């Protein structure tokens, strides 16, 4: 048997290539999704609805036909089921050829009159996808929507993190008579309803300035909310070895200074804080530093932690009296999570060591002493001004893991 895999383009028959038309016209057997088969003209071929690669292979192996076609929407090389079917056919020794079709990204770019070679391409079909993380790469981002991630839900997600003004464009039913293209801000389109066959193009989000850990304290909006100092933040990120694929928790986030630093060096951050005024500060600092991958969770730990995804990195800046319970949740979510605890008081340091040891960690304690000098002017005996350096010392304690690390400044 000779099998031909065909990309049907946008779905409308006039987007089919001539090669695809010829193959379908002479095929005695055609397999594919029911929606696609119903759109094909009648030519006497037997049409069998099938989507799963293994089911398609079984039907082909049982068939006595000499040729068959398997149809897919869009292009066979762009997030297509052909990817899973091809190796099965090759393993079974069934000869196969592939005919490409127009993809949704090609159709959409043509409708917009824009080149698409610099677009970031993402599919939401059957996979977990964070749309915010995808638009932080400085390029327009194309979303092939589907399932729970619709154009509406993507726009709502942008609004949640402060990207309500982000320009987006939605294409519905591309190539069909009811095709529609709609442009606006994420805020405006978040309340709209779109067709199931939709795609979305988001323009690049404002990107943060690239910088090393340890942003100067004065750059953060603070008011009267406590904040982890610059030198400690730099040490925290170094000890936690934060990477671009890490998911991070900042428990007791305060102003969000650590949350922002984590967000600028990781995939996503959840800042957990129970004080309303502090949560508002975190949102304002998120916007100031373009840390759009930072989510604010208003609530008390450990209760607020249970629905969050398993973390790779955890910073505990304020735990109240709930450190044991919080650490137990972290351990249950991910036994290999790297943990860092800020401990200003010796009592907190001792408790951290005891709790971490009880959970099977091997705490390491590091003390950090920070001294800053301020230049002041003072008149001497003769009345002349003299510059005097006045040193100021500050202290804190921190703790981290997977070799849990406790350090004190």
Taken in order of first residue, the domains within the chain and their CATH numbers are: 2-102 (3.40.1010.10), 105-202 (3.30.950.10), 217-408 (3.40.50.150)
Which pLDDT belongs to residue 296? Answer: 95
Radius of gyration of the chain (CA): 29
The CA distances from residue 43 to 65, 156, 202, in Å, are: 16, 45, 41
* Residue 157 near residue 131 (C-beta atoms within 8 A): yes
Residue 339 sits at φ, ψ, to 5 deg, of -120, 140
Parallel, antiparallel or unpaired: strands 364-379 and 338-342: unpaired
Instruction: Tell me the whole-structure pTM to 2 decimals.
Output: 0.75
From 373, 376, 375, select the one nearest 392 (Cα to Cα): 373
Secondary structure (3-state) at 327: helix
- What whole-number distance in Å separates Cα of residue 351 and Cα of residue 356? 8
Burial class, 131, CB count within 10 angstroms (exposed 0-12 / middle 13-18 / buried 19+)? buried
What's the pLDDT score for residue 211? 79
Cα–Cα distance, 21 to 27 (Å, whole number): 10
Query: What pLDDT shows up at residue 401?
Result: 43
Looking at residue 388, its pLDDT comes to 53
Going by C-alpha positions, the residue among 359, 352, 346, 348 that lies closest to residue 400 is 352
Q: What is the pLDDT along the chain (409 residues), one digit of tens a residue?
A: 899 999 998 877 888 899 999 999 999 999 999 989 998 988 899 999 999 999 999 999 999 999 999 999 999 999 999 999 999 999 999 999 999 999 999 999 999 999 999 999 999 776 778 899 899 888 999 999 988 889 999 999 999 999 999 999 999 999 988 999 999 999 999 999 999 999 999 999 988 777 788 999 999 998 888 788 898 899 999 999 999 999 999 999 999 999 999 999 999 999 999 999 999 999 999 999 999 999 999 999 999 999 999 999 999 987 768 888 999 999 999 999 999 988 777 788 888 888 888 888 888 887 777 777 777 666 666 666 555 555 444 444 444 444 344 433 3
């Amino acid at each position: 048997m000779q099998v031909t895999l065909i990309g049907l383009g946008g779905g409308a028959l006039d987007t089919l290539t001539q090669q695809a038309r010829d193959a379908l016209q002479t095929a005695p057997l055609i397999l594919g999704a029911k929606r696609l088969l119903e759109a094909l003209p009648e030519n006497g071929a037997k049409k069998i609805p099938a989507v799963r690669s293994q089911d398609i292979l079984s039907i082909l192996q049982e068939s006595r036909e000499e040729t068959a076609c398997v149809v897919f929407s869009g292009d066979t090389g762009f997030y297509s089921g052909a990817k899973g079917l091809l190796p099965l056919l090759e393993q079974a020794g069934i000869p196969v050829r592939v005919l490409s079709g127009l993809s949704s990204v090609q159709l959409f770019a043509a409708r917009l009159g824009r080149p698409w070679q610099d677009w970031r391409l993402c599919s939401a079909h059957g996979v977990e996808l964070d749309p915010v993380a995808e638009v932080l790469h400085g390029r327009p981002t194309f979303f092939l929507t589907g399932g729970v991630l619709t154009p509406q839900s993507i726009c709502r997600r942008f609004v949640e993190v402060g990207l309500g003004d982000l320009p987006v464009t939605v294409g519905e039913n591309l190539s069909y008579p009811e095709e529609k293209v709609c442009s606006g801000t994420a805020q405006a389109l978040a309340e709209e309803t779109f067709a199931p066959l939709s795609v979305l193009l988001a323009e690049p989000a404002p990107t943060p300035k690239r910088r090393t850990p340890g942003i100067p304290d004065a750059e953060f909006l603070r008011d009267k909310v406590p904040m982890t100092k610059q030198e400690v933040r730099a040490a925290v990120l170094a000890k936690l070895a934060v990477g671009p694929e890490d998911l991070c928790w900042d428990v007791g986030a305060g102003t969000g200074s650590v949350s922002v630093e984590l967000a600028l060096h990781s995939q996503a951050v959840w800042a957990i804080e129970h004080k309303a005024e502090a949560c508002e500060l975190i949102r304002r600092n998120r916007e100031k530093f373009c840390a759009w991958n930072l989510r604010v969770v208003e609530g008390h730990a450990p209760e607020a932690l249970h629905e969050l995804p398993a973390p790779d990195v955890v910073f505990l800046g304020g735990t109240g009296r709930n450190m044991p319970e919080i650490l137990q949740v972290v351990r249950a979510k991910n036994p290999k999570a790297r943990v860092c605890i800020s401990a200003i008081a010796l009592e907190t340091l001792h408790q951290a060591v005891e709790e971490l040891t009880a959970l099977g960690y091997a705490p390491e304690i590091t003390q950090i002493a920070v001294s800053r000098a301020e230049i002041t002017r003072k008149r001497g005996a003769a009345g002349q001004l003299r510059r005097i350096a006045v040193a100021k010392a500050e202290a804190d304690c921190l703790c981290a893991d997977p070799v849990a690390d406790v350090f004190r400044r």
